[in-house]
Amino acid sequence: MNVTVRGRSRPFRTVAFDPKKNAVLLVEQRLLPHEFKVVPIRDYRATATAITDMVVRGAGAIGATAAYGLAQGARAFKGTDLARFLTHVDLVQHTLKEARPTAVDPVNAMIDVRAAMTSGKTVREQQELALAAAERFADEDVAHCRELGEHGAPLIREGMRVLTHCNAGWLAFVDVGTATAPLYAAQAQGRKFHVFCDETRPRCQGASLTAWELAQQGISHNVIADNAAGHLMQRGEIDLVIVGSDRVLGRTGEVANKIGTYTKAVLAHRHKIPFYVAIPLSTIDWQMAAGRDIPIEERSGAEVLGAWGIAQSPGSKVPGPKSGKRTYVRIANPTSTARNPGFDVTPPELITGIITPHGIFKPRELKKLRAITA
């Protein structure tokens, strides 16, 4: 995506790799929308921590980060003993897999990288194959997002009002995004529409990241409080919902996504508003048998009890002269604790269709996709 920083527009990828420095390059998403910065991460353990701490987040982006992190860890190995190398790579893979539990993209990405490495006869060859496979995963992520954008674009008609939840945009992938891909494709085809971005408490990815992306892209939008969607639906002000996913069960059509997605799906169903989920192939879990088995990340209660931002007086459009420093403010009662499940699972009967790089499928018909892609 082109990002305008200090008046200059340049293309960036959310996740990239510097082979000379053996560093994963990440857009530091915790600073957005106030500051745009790319940070180099030089060690696979630090790459895992960057995933856990959400320097990088979003299923596709952490998938590509895990793929590059695995190559990074493999390339850091010194020596020629293949058995010792493979034990080391197992540890790297395990460390990256543990960084966040819900999204399946990192698991699938690292399976791809490991499979590609097996044809190497030496440590050196396997190291090279690992990086080539990680680059391929990242390029495929971009291609899948573009393809699903073309399939989803006809859903966005002139003048529509579209609701999205969390950030399933460019920042959640290597480029383009999933829920945003049909929007960007429809915009390129000359259509005008409006997007409502759910704020998406507790970390506010909708307010901070999706709204920033849409502003960069010149798409008309409002941020709404998470509780506002039902009211807008009841008044006929939302025509369509599109979200992303961290794990879609290929066998059942259940969809794990950011906490609050299920609530929006129930509301959309009540108001007969089409509810779509947009995903690349790496988000499909073909093994898991039931949504209740999806590991749901529980994050720190501090995210619910307070919020991060920069100081600004409520009526003003720009931060004040003394602001600029990102600060945590406590919102909740000081002695109260919180529960903070990061994701929920939406059942297939609430989902109109799953937008994929190979077309739009009913959630229970994803098996057809397996036949096409096998």
> Catalytic residue positions?
246
Q: Which residues pair with 95 in a beta bridge?
A: none
* 246 binds ligand MRU, rule: CB under 6 A: yes
Closest by CA position to 291, among listed 206, 369, 205, 363: 363
Nearer to ligand MRU, 60 or 348 (CB): 60
Nearer to ligand MRU, 129 or 134 (CB): 134
Q: State the nearest-atom distance from the C-beta of 21 to ligand MRU, in Å.
A: 26
E strand spans, 128-252 = 161-164, 194-198, 221-224, 240-243, 247-249
CA distances from 121 to 7, 41, 81, 89, 115 (A): 49, 29, 11, 15, 13
Nearer to ligand MRU, 131 or 174 (CB): 174
Cα dihedral sign, 60-61-66-69: positive
| Vertex 271: Cα angle to 270 and 277 (nearest 5) | 85
Question: CA–CA separation, 92 vs 82, rounded Å?
Answer: 15
Structural contact between residues 172 and 137, judged by C-beta atoms closer than 8 angstroms: no
- Binding pattern for the stretch 196-215 against ligand MRU, x by CB under 6 A and - elsewhere: ---------x----------
* 109 binds ligand MRU, rule: CB under 6 A: no
What b/e string do you get for 327-337 counting C-beta neighbours within 10 Å, with b at 16 or more?
A: eeeeeeeeeee
Q: Which residues pair with 341 in a beta bridge?
A: 298
Question: CA–CA separation, 187 vs 153, rounded Å?
Answer: 9
| Vertex 311: Cα angle to 325 and 299 (nearest 5) | 75
* 245 binds ligand MRU, rule: CB under 6 A: yes
Angle, to 10 degrees, between the axis of helix 123-152 and the axis of helix 82-97? 30
Exactly one of 93, 95, 178, 180 binds ligand MRU (CB under 6 A); which one? 178
* 168 binds ligand MRU, rule: CB under 6 A: yes
- Binding pattern for the stretch 53-92 against ligand MRU, x by CB under 6 A and - elsewhere: ----xxxx--------------------------------
Please give the single-letter amino acid code of residue 321: P
Exactly one of 14, 108, 208, 257 binds ligand MRU (CB under 6 A); which one? 257
Exactly one of 258, 348, 353, 356 binds ligand MRU (CB under 6 A); which one? 258
* 357 binds ligand MRU, rule: CB under 6 A: no
Nearer to ligand MRU, 151 or 258 (CB): 258
* 342 binds ligand MRU, rule: CB under 6 A: yes
Q: Choose the stretch contacting ligand MRU; rule: CB under 6 A; options: 45-53, 183-191, 239-247, 360-368.
A: 239-247
Exactly one of 32, 172, 176, 369 binds ligand MRU (CB under 6 A); which one? 172
- Binding pattern for the stretch 129-148 against ligand MRU, x by CB under 6 A and - elsewhere: --------------------
Q: Choose the stretch contacting ligand MRU; rule: CB under 6 A; options: 40-48, 68-76, 122-130, 164-172.
A: 164-172
Which residues lie near ligand MRU (CB under 6 A)?
57-60, 166, 168, 172, 178, 205, 244-246, 257-258, 342
